[in-house]
Amino acid sequence: MPPGLKDVAARAGVSIKTVSNVVNGYVHVAPATRARVQAAIEALGYVPNIAARQLRSGRSGVIALAVPELQSPYFAEIAGLIVQAAERRSWTVLIDQTDGQAERERNLVAGLRRHAIDGLIFSPLALAGEELALRDGTPMVLLGERVWHGPADHVAIDNTAAAADATRHLTSLGRRRIAAIGVQERPSAVTAHQRLAGYRAALAEAGLPADPALEIPADGFHRADGAAAMARLLDAAEPPDAVFCFNDLLALGALRTLLSRGVSVPEDIAVIGFDDIEDGRFSTPTLSTIAPDAPRIAQLAVDLLAERLGDGPAAAGAPRELRVDHRLIVRESTCG
């Protein structure tokens, strides 16, 4: 049985509360008393019982992060950054994996969590809009899409603008038949919709026609989906001269298909992705992409949560929408 305040108090010859005060750094404790208590703490190896503390204070020091899947480099990176940012506030992060399943996401939002958490950072995949209203009062920060007037705070880049930047980069290189890989019909696939919108906007801007045959759907955003989509494009009557993939994994998959078929990149077909995952910096050819400011996304998400959790005046208030910058990164896959 681990020692409690009680045991430390007995050993130091003070009251339980005095030990508690020492532990919590309360100012008005005589130096001599403090030293005696500290010694007792060391001697007994006392560690505060978090469960009890949480029971009293209602705070657990744990925030949950819900992502579709950790295996995806982009989410892994974001998760790592959020863990780091949370650490700076002495929070620990509990990771929920939704696998993009609507049911799991709904449970999350309904507050059917098994564990008590102070806040939730959530990157929804299957749910969108009003369905995301968190039932219990747990503060939530949404990640990764721009849902205007959504029910919760969220942090995101301007997906549409970023997609337009990517596409514009291709048009500026003189490409005329630019395909898009990653189109998704589901109404909840907001990210895909926004990137498609940006793509179309940039095409229109360049005076290029929107060709439905160039808008290739993908079940998921993985390499295999990208590889399959690219194969479909190459087998078509009139292949493209450039491809905008809605994320880097799709692009890497596409790249693989291109190279294994002997299509040279970027000479025959230029490829650009989205996310700037590390893989793209070392692939062959290296991958041009849109780089969201991921460290900032993580930091802002944690900060926003902290604000809601604080007792200050900012705790309440209307949902806020924070936009994070993105950059176009040009590498070999568009400019060999």
Partner DNA sequence: CTTAAGTACTGCAACGTTGTATAGTCCATC
Partner DNA sequence: GATGGACTATACAACGTTGCAGTACTTAAG
| The amino acid at 28 | H
Asked whether position 112 contacts its own copies by CB under 8 A, the answer is: yes
Neighbours of 328 (CB within 10 A): 16
Residues 41-60 contacting DNA, CB under 7 A = 46, 48-49, 52-53, 55-57
CB of 312 to its own copies, least distance (A): 21
Neighbours of 55 (CB within 10 A): 11
For residue 328, which of 293, 292, 290 has the smallest C-alpha distance? 290
- Choices 62-70, 190-198, 266-274, 300-308 (CB under 8 A): range interacting with its own copies: 62-70
Residues 6+ apart with CB under 8 A from 260: none
- What is Dmax (Cα atoms) for the chain? 88
Residues 6+ apart with CB under 8 A from 70: 76, 79, 95, 97
190 or 298, CB closer to its own copies?
298
The CA-atom distances, in angstroms, between 104 and each of 96, 110, 127, 173, 299 are 9, 10, 10, 43, 26
Residues 255-274 contacting its own copies, CB under 8 A = 255-256, 259-260
Among 83, 197, 206, 330, binds its own copies (CB under 8 A): 83
Residues 6+ apart with CB under 8 A from 137: none
CB of 282 to its own copies, least distance (A): 4
Query: Coil, helix or strand for 97?
Result: strand
Among 16, 29, 44, 70, binds its own copies (CB under 8 A): 70
Among 35, 39, 43, 55, binds its own copies (CB under 8 A): 55
172 or 264, CB closer to its own copies?
264
Query: Coil, helix or strand for 163?
Result: helix
10 or 83, CB closer to its own copies?
83
CB of 41 to DNA, least distance (A): 10
Among 114, 209, 212, 262, binds its own copies (CB under 8 A): 114
The continuous run of DSSP H or E covering 93 comes out as: strand 92-97
**# residues near its own copies by CB under 8 A:** 52
- Both tokens of 58, joined, read 């209602």
For residues 304 and 140, is the Cβ–Cβ distance under 8 A?
A: no
CB of 201 to its own copies, least distance (A): 30
- Both tokens of 28, joined, read 């008005």
End-to-end CA distance of the chain: give it in Å, rounded. 65
104 or 193, CB closer to its own copies?
104
Q: Return the one option of DNA, its own copies, none that residue 14 interacts with (CB less than 5 to 8 A, by type).
A: DNA
**Residues near its own copies, by CB under 8 A:** 2, 45, 47, 49-52, 54-55, 60-62, 69-71, 73, 76-77, 79-80, 83-84, 87, 90, 92-97, 111-112, 114-116, 135-136, 223, 227, 252-253, 255-256, 259-260, 278-279, 281-284, 286
**Residues near DNA, by CB under 7 A:** 1-2, 4-6, 13-18, 20-21, 23-24, 27-30, 32-34, 46, 48-49, 52-53, 55-57
